[in-house]
A = this chain, B = another copy of it.
């Protein structure tokens, strides 16, 4: 096992002073490898990460999808550092905000106006505010994962299983005002009848919010039908492109399917890990922002717009989504082949750009998953059940990853056969839920 003493020591300090340890649930060490995870990085460049103990890894999670161009991209960093030298704020505004808005509207010809925020969940909340202001109707039908805000967690006030089919099961709505119960109703992807039922039972649906696509392709004109329902009931259709945006093509994934929302929301990948988010919408709808109050000092910082401009321009010029697909196809095909050869029960879903792995060993699944992470770490990989392909992940890294996976699958096969999976784990099984950390 690699020496990860410093990282673990700091993580233990962190849990004493930061509730939950990390600001992003998906970066909690216990979700990867409890008591054995490097936890912190000293340096990150390209697909490589160095931990506090000097170990070097290939990171196949791309900061949970936030870094499409890979870490510390030279072009983006150059632009950002220039902006910092010239001052990242003043009482006057940053001109790059306008340039970025114009670029986003060129990429999304159905849209006419743009607002900014600095995070995905926050930007979705801005979009929901605008949509409610525009329609005058408060209720929301939604599909997929949309962050930590009240409007979304409200779904679990009515039924604590409501969010279970939407990426993160078991989200606790504690602290969300109880009067919001019944304001947010979930429907599942490709289940248009569920949305029909919601709008039939609720006359005041003002917002339909969804990820246009995530793991599965739309079937039976699902997106077109959602669009028709939104038009029919007078709801604003919001596409949450925070995760899938920019990966399938430059701009929103919805462009691929030819179905336009009223508002599309971008964050994460659009600025290669620098905090930034954009709410892009039809002018008539977006102008409702002026009937409400939506304003923050931190949204005027220059870095966000500069990083997004540099990132988007590079994604265009380097045809980045095509690269992500190419490498993702290599990894996906390689893993399928290895699993077949070695008899590993591995379900592989998602797009090549955003692969999702699931070991299917019944009650042993989570232990096998943990063993996979542990053994990949030993072999120099920050790996998990999601593979977020980034631009510096080249065929050579994919080959190395598959080489390591072959060894690890061999270990898993033997361990399962010998019923010794837990014995091979150096620490506890990875958490699959929101356990309270102490």
Residues of B within 8 A of A61 (CB): 91
Which of A270-278, A314-322, A335-343, A357-365 is the contact stretch? A270-278
Which of A43-51, A188-196, A418-426 contacts its partner?
Answer: A43-51
Alpha-carbon distance A225/B303, docked complex (angstroms): 43
Interface residues of A in 33-53 (CB under 8 A from B): 38-45, 49, 51-52
Most buried by B among A45, A134, A290: A290
Contacts A17-B105, A62-B91, A295-B24: A86 and B44 contacting too (C-beta < 8 A)?
yes
CB-based nearest B residue for A150: B150
Give the contacting residue for A273; candidates B45, B130, B274, B301; CB below 8 A. Answer: B301
Whether A292 lies near B172 (C-beta < 8 A) is yes
Which residues of B lie under 8 Å from residue A119 when comparing CB positions? 118, 122, 296-299
Is there contact, CB below 8 Å, between A98 and B297?
Answer: no
Which residues in B have their C-beta under 8 angstroms from that of A40? 92-95
User: Do A72 and B49 have beta carbons less than 8 Å apart?
Assistant: no
Q: How far is the CA of A294 from the CA of B19 in the complex (A)?
A: 10
A400 CB to nearest chain B CB (Å): 17
Q: Quickly give the copy total for this chain.
A: 2
Q: Which of B63, B116, B148, B168 makes the CB contact (< 8 A) with A89?
A: B63
Contact A292 B95 (CB under 8 A): no
Q: Are A77 and B72 in contact (CB under 8 A)?
A: no
> With A175-B288, A290-B436 in contact, is A98–B51 under 8 Å at CB?
no
A14 proximal to B (CB < 8 A): yes
Contacts of A81 in B (CB 8 A): 81, 84
- Cβ of A204 to closest chain B Cβ, rounded Å: 10
Most buried by B among A44, A101, A174: A174
Q: Using CB atoms, name the residue of chain B closest to A116.
A: B23
* A349 at the B interface (CB under 8 A): no
Evaluate contact between A294 and B87: CB separation under 8 angstroms. Answer: no
The residue on B at minimum CB distance from A126 is B148
Nearest CB of B to A357, in Å: 15
B98–A148 CB distance below 8 A? no
User: Which chain B positions have C-beta within 8 A of A399?
Assistant: none
Among A107-115, A253-261, A402-410, which stretch is in contact with chain B?
A: A107-115
Within A68-102, the residues touching B (CB, 8 Å) are 71-72, 77, 80-81, 84-95, 97-98, 101-102
- Which 9 pairs between the two chains have the least Cβ-Cβ distance? A44-B87, A133-B175, A23-B299, A119-B298, A89-B273, A275-B298, A44-B90, A41-B92, A132-B175
15 contacts across the A-B interface (CB closer than 8 A) = A25-B295, A26-B295, A27-B92, A42-B95, A45-B87, A51-B92, A63-B297, A92-B382, A118-B275, A175-B292, A267-B298, A268-B297, A275-B304, A276-B298, A291-B436
Task: Give A contacts to B, CB under 8 Å.
Answer: 7, 10, 13-14, 17-27, 38-45, 49, 51-52, 59, 61-67, 71-72, 77, 80-81, 84-95, 97-98, 101-102, 105, 112-116, 118-122, 125, 128-134, 136, 138, 147-151, 153, 168, 171-180, 183, 267-268, 273-277, 286-301, 303-304, 382, 384, 434, 436-437
Additional A-B contact list (7), CB under 8 Å, known A27-B300, A66-B89, A119-B297 = A19-B288, A43-B87, A90-B382, A122-B122, A132-B175, A174-B292, A175-B288
